[in-house]
Amino acid sequence: MCSHGTHTALHDSGPGLATTATPYPVRAPGPVGKKITSLYKKRLVNFFTPGQWEKVNLLAALNRGVYTGSPHVKLSVWDAPGTSRPTFSEATSASNSHRETQVGESFGPSWTTHWFRCALTLPEALCKKDAHVELHWDCSNEATVWTADGNPLQGLTGRGERVEWVVPASFKDGKEHVIYLEMACNGMFGNGPGRPIFKNNAGGDSIQPPDQNKYFQLSKAELVAVNYEARMLHVDFGIIHDAATELPEDSWEQHEALNVASRIIDTFRVGDDSSILACRKIAAEYLGDQINSAAVYESQLFHWLKKLYPYGWERVKAKVKSGQFHPIGGSWVEHDTNLPCGESLVRQFLYGQRFFEAEFGIRSTTSWLPDTFGFSCQIPQICRLAGMTRFMTQKPCFNSVNEFPHTTFNWVALDGSQVICHMPPCKTYTAEGNYLDITRSISNHKSLDQDNTALMAFGKGDGGGGPTWQHMERLRRLRGLADTMGVIPRVHAGATVDQFFDRLETKASSLVTWYGELYFELHRGVYTTQARTKLENRTSEILLHDIELLATIASIQDKDYKYPKKELDELWQGLMLCQFHDCLPGTAIEMCYDDSDKVYANVKQTGNSLLQRIFQSLGIESLKEVGTQNFDNVIALNTLPWPRKELIATSKTEAVIASGQGHALAVQSIKTSGDGVGLVAVKETTKGVFQLENDDLTVKIEHGCITSIYDRKARRETVCGKANQFVVFDDKPVYWQAWDVEVYHLETREELVNSTTKIHEDKGYRASVVVETRISEASSMKTVISLTAALDGQPSFVECSADVDWHETMKFLKVEFPVQVRNTEASYETQYGIIKRPTHYNTSWDMAKFEVCCHKFADLSEHNYGVSILNDSKYGFTTVGNVMRLSLLRSPKAPDGNADMGQHRIRWAIMPHQGSLGAQIVQTAFNFNNPMRLVAAPSGKSSILSQTPITLTGDDNLVLDWVKRGEDDEDVSQDNLPKRKGKNVIVRIYDALGGMGRGKIKAAYAVEKVFKTNILEDDLEEISVHDGAFEVTLHPFEVATYRLKVAYTRQKMSTGQDHDIRSELRNLKVLQGPFIEWDAAAFPPTPQEAFGTWLNEAVKAGVKEPHAMTLSTVDGQGLPDARVLILKNVDHRGWHFAIKADSPKGHQLASRGHAALTFYWPDQGRQVRIRGKAIQLPAEECERDFTERPVSSKVAALGSKQSQKLRNEAQLERSMDAAKETFDKDPDFVLTSWKVFAVDPSAVEFWQGASSRLHKRMQYTRTAAGGAWERNLLWP
């Protein structure tokens, strides 16, 4: 027997037992019909939604009273000028003129800010203690509530969402209270025309270019007395309504939900609060009676909050401490993962985790990137190296071709590192927390055979913004529904993300695995959109690489050079901000790029300024002009870790060859180098047909296209068809213009016809032709195809440089290279390695990758031969069959209507190579992006840069990628995390080709210790180091970081020759001054008085430890000895110090009796030298000095057998423990061997240094103890 229902009781009395059931009536009281389910379901929505019934349904009971306008809500406004963003103090300045305003007025235009002074006076009805009063404010845009004294309280969203601010109890006194509201004239998703939706809409939508003249009408500014029970009933009924309409009609739970909802409607009476309470009791039958009662993941947001809104920042920190606010993610912003270089990804986590640790005392264990457009195959490895074992994203669930097959799985990087990845099956990161969201979290779950739990990112805002009270109330009821009725998944709203993943980790071995990238089958256009931003990103990354490398060298070599960590932090944080997943991918509005252009300009300007300071320290200078000259004092600055040999143009007609290893390469004119330079020639063989040729390649150009690249050494043709052929496609995706390019665009391919080709250069060392191409009536380009002279041991490639004037609409420009190479896979450089992708469309998964991401090169190789395409700023690529295609420019019109319009310069190169993909391609791609610069070394060559301070030798698949200073170095660190003493150099290397690599890193410095670390620079293991060198072994595609602790003095340079420390010492600066003026006549009669004056001046000047002095004594063999002690006192008896009588200095004083003291205050250029007899002071003074010492100092004095041999540290610890026990038992214990001495001086000299070396010296002498002092000046 079974029963369902919430108000039916079944009592089994058993055989022969009496029953308490009501007797069954003999006659039917009347007809009862079956409910018509569809009709009752239609009825429900009328009970709690607007419409013709809203004056008699539940909406009529939500508020007990609404008060708007004067005297209860008085408004005045100050309109900030232009699009400025004034601070609170600026906005509320008495000089600003506020004008009266009211509901119904409109404010704008777009992006302007308006500050409202809101004077609130609660009527008597709202001043009751139990009244729940809110200010409802809605202008369909974003706003912030401020206290009258300038503290930000809360954000408001607008358009009916998050429009409430709870009025505090202190306002319930009938008096006027003032708050301020800062209104920003933009919606949550910008200012697109029409409705703020993501949907093709005739009136416009959110992704269209902003309406720059948009105005927002203030529709609400009112005090509301909320009927709290009615509000809660509204939430109750919403959940029951969803159950009644969404559950299957053949389930008893659906029928029960419909019955409960119907009873609530029938019970409700407008104006009768008791009926509302009765309705809530009915609702509890279905939802349970226990229903009454944020994660943020970007360090950049916290950084802004701390800087701009310190009051809000302190509130957040308090909530974090109490467990109500959960910082998560550990990266600087919600960054793109496809386009930034490997080091940029490292810095996202390094800066993010350090900020979390410095401000919250924690590190995140979960990488939280819900809205990023695909994920690099090396993210799991970088996460693990940043201390993260978990990863959360949402994006692959939006694939347009194949449905991603897993919800929870182990994601594995190229090197085998793994993280547990979870993709919330709710399929949104802005869940409303309603019935459908909860049920989808299981119905869409694709890993139920391994785990049946799921996360749900709920809240307002894109990417899982903050929850509203509606979210929380719905979730409570859904939990109650699950507990009471079952039928839906159980909600756990109080658990943290960490707790969710903690449980997953226990079953990690049973989870499926996904190897390699999480390719996103949507938003493929982001590899190309906003070309200038992508160029600036790459050049900024390279600039920061060079600055950190050279600044590290300078800071180790030059004690006067300070590593510019503060400036570097600013530059990195700006660059990382621009790597936000809508900025760098090219999907932001135009204003964003106005801002990012300023950030990049600052990186360039500040970066170049830093380089000039570094050059000064390194002894080199920038060359303003490079022409025909003697190159004895010119070097080529190489910031890459391998030998290079390249041609560098010095003028329009001349070049030099730079070659060698290290950072400073020698240069010679091509004519005098004798370095195997083969000339290059150009000629027009027939009309419109040109030939470029050097010792390696013969290039044929017909009608502007390359029709042949003959490899003279391999004796084979490289291309088949027209290479460097420009093609244009229609580019009209289904919806997301800047984001998407769809596969059907390939069907609109149109070849561009070149108009003219002519010889451009014929310089002997470089030859080129220039091709002009008309793209359309509005757009054109000029392309230079060049070949340089072949250099022995260096690859030759055909370089192309295009100047494009681009003014298209929804067109996509690409350049094609059909090559004589076949393979089913092509290789693409990614962060810290390569990734292989299919060149065919065998499956839908293969075809979905019709446009992919690559970094500096793409390669198609067969056995023993291949072709690489290098680039300087492009990321979109595809290889189909034997056709390699580089994406150049797009022209979407939303959300930035001017995206990519204007002038562009783009460089790429076609590089044939013998053998398969190898180190030569990797290095050449680096070289192509890092051109050497010529600098002047006035002394002939830079002594510091002529050697490579950090070298990597061994297998050529290993790349020494980055060199920097340690984040925690005491002279570098900018945060409040623990510091490391001394100087540390961080070295990051990786395997670029996918094989085990062994090598040796050697430093030109004396290296005290080496540790392998993670990317946060936590030590993982100590590495054996000898003579500055240590062995490294890397697994395929491994990224390895090492910390080199530099010794205080350098021993040998990397050549093995003894370093000339004499020369280095000669270069150290001393006595720079200015110093205090000398006045010989001002010296007092006694040296004690003079010393007191100088000591006070040292203290006031901030001299560190001015009371530290060197005590010099002589041992039994007449050998001098010295050590530093602390001055205890100065009086007529002399200069006092304390020692243990049984120490070596105690024995020396006892046997010899004389001593010398020396004080040195370098900041003031002063010394004081004292000679005389050391006299032991009375026992009571010795005892008093000992008793005044801190307990720890007394323990150390008693426990230490000073200067005797120590077997091990354990022996020291035992002795200290015994000494501590002595003082624990007898706090007044006095060490009898503790003695205080005074040096009774016979001579005291005061020495004032001078930069001219004409030092000033005043000597006090006396012939007998207690005699008169005589003063004399001494020669310098």
Point out the residues that are catalytic: 371
Q: Which segments of 95-204 are extended strands (E)?
A: 99-101, 106-107, 113-121, 132-138, 142-147, 152-156, 164-166, 176-184
- 3-class secondary-structure state, position 1124: strand
Cα(1276)–Cα(1255) distance, integer angstroms: 5
**Alpha helices (H) along 92-202:** none
The total of other beta-carbon atoms located within 10 Å of residue 1073's CB is 11
Four-residue CA torsion sign, 1161, 1162, 1166, 1172: positive
Bridge partners for 1126 per DSSP: 1108
Q: CA 355, 356, 357, 358 torsion: positive or negative?
A: positive
CA distance 1105 to 1092: 15
DSSP secondary structure string for all residues of 731-785: ---SS-TTT---GGGGGG-EEPPEEEEEEEEE-SSEEEEEEEEE-SSS-EEEEEE
User: Exposed/middle/buried for 425, CB within 10 Å: 0-12, 13-18, 19+?
Assistant: buried
Q: How many helices (H) and strands (E) does the chain have?
A: 24, 64
Tokens found for residue 623: 């060359």
- Report the run of H or E that residue 837 belongs to, with start and end: strand 833-838
Name 938's Cβ contacts closer than 8 Å, sequence gap at least 6: 619, 621, 633
Per this entry, what is the length of the chain? 1276
Name the DSSP class of 214.
-
CB 1140 within 8 A of CB 1235: yes
* Beta strands at 1007-1013 and 1019-1023: parallel, antiparallel or unpaired: antiparallel
- Are 979 and 969 a contacting pair, CB within 8 Å? yes
CB atoms within 10 A of CB 1083: 17
**Helices 228-246 and 273-287 sit at what angle, rounded to 10 degrees?**
40
Q: Which two tokens stand for residue 112?
A: 């302007």
Cis bond upstream, residue 405 (ω within 30): no
Element (H, E) at 1008: strand 1007-1013
Contact 694, 789 (CB under 8 A): yes
Q: For residues 789 and 679, is the Cβ–Cβ distance under 8 A?
A: yes
Q: Round to whole Å and give the CA distance between 1248 and 1083.
A: 13
Question: What is the DSSP code (8-state) at residue 92?
Answer: T
Are the C-beta atoms of residues 486 and 288 closer than 8 Å to each other?
no
Backbone angles phi, psi at 792, to 5 degrees: -55, 130
Q: How far is CA 1050 from CA 15, 557, 983, 1047, in A?
A: 100, 9, 12, 7
In 3D, which of 354, 738, 386 has the Cα closest to residue 581?
738
Cβ burial, residue 178 (10 Å; 0-12/13-18/19+): middle
Other C-beta atoms lying within 10 Å of the C-beta of residue 1186 = 21
1106 to 621, 806, 839, 1100, 1101: CA distances (angstroms): 40, 69, 74, 10, 10
